[in-house]
Structure formats: C-alpha cells, structure tokens
Amino acid sequence: QQPVQSPQAVILREGEDAVINCSSSKALYSVHWYRQKHGEAPVFLMILLKGGEQKGHEKISASFNEKKQQSSLYLTASQLSYSGTYFCGTMGGTSYGKLTFGQGTILTVHP
C-alpha cells in the first residue's frame, strides 16, 4: 500500500525551513527519500533503517519513527536548488530495491 505524504506542496523563500512527512499503514524496515527535478531522474537523498541508522545527504536530516511507521524529512535554510518533488519510498523488509513510493511533495523555493 502506498505511503501518504504531507503536505502535497510547499512554497518557501530562500533560507526558510520545511518538513515533509511520510506515513505508512504497514510495518517498515526502511524509508528512502528521493528528490526529482522536472524532466530528470529521481535522485537519492537519505535512507533510514529500522534501528535508527541513517545514511545520506549532509545538509538534509530525517527521522524515522518505527512504531508510528512514519518518517519526516527536514530541510533547513532552504536554497533555490532544493526545489523539486520529494518522494518517500518504503520497504517492508530487506527486499533490496523494491520500493513503494508516496505520491510526492512539490517544494518550490523562491529568492
């Protein structure tokens, strides 16, 4: 079942912060975050594993609440380059690259 992302869209000024949430109805092993710019491939940002391990982007942080089956992506001091659509992808077990993606959150950063 597809995870649900919120909000659907965010508009920011440069330097402002944003939080994007991802919620699943199924038990999760890991949560992956990707950013996609228009006409381009989704690009990996962050992976959060059951047990608290995180790997990914230096300037972006995220949290993973295993009990609530939720993850949040924190974008601080946003830059113009942060604009794009953010997707969370969830994995219920160690099934390698088979992810179930949310519907996406469109982030727009203005000067």
Partner 1 sequence: DTGVSQNPRHKITKRGQNVTFRCDPISEHNRLYWYRQTLGQGPEFLTYFQNEAQLEKSRLLSDRFSAERPKGSFSTLEIQRTEQGDSAMYLCAIDTPMGPTSSGANVLTFGAGSRLTVL
Contact with partner 1 (CB under 8 A): which of 10, 12, 42, 70?
42
Q: Which amino acid is at 68?
A: K
Least spacing, CB of residue 98 vs partner 1, in Å:
5
Check residue 25 for interaction with partner 1 (CB under 8 A): no
Please, which of residues 43-82 interact with partner 1 by CB under 8 A?
43-44, 47, 49, 53, 55
Contact between residue 57 and residue 76 where contact means Cβ atoms under 8 Å apart:
no
Please tell me the distance from the alpha carbon of residue 78 to that of residue 74, in angstroms, as a whole number. 10
Contact with partner 1 (CB under 8 A): which of 13, 41, 52, 58?
41
Kindly report the length of the chain. 111
Contact segment (CB under 8 A) with partner 1 among 11-19, 38-46, 59-67, 70-78 equals 38-46
Check residue 99 for interaction with partner 1 (CB under 8 A): yes
Distance in angstroms between the alpha carbons of the first and the last residue of the chain: 37
DSSP-assigned letters across all residues of 31-68:
EEEEEE-TTS--EEEEEEETTS-EEE-SSEEEEEETTT
User: Which is closer to partner 1, CB of 16 or CB of 106?
Assistant: 106
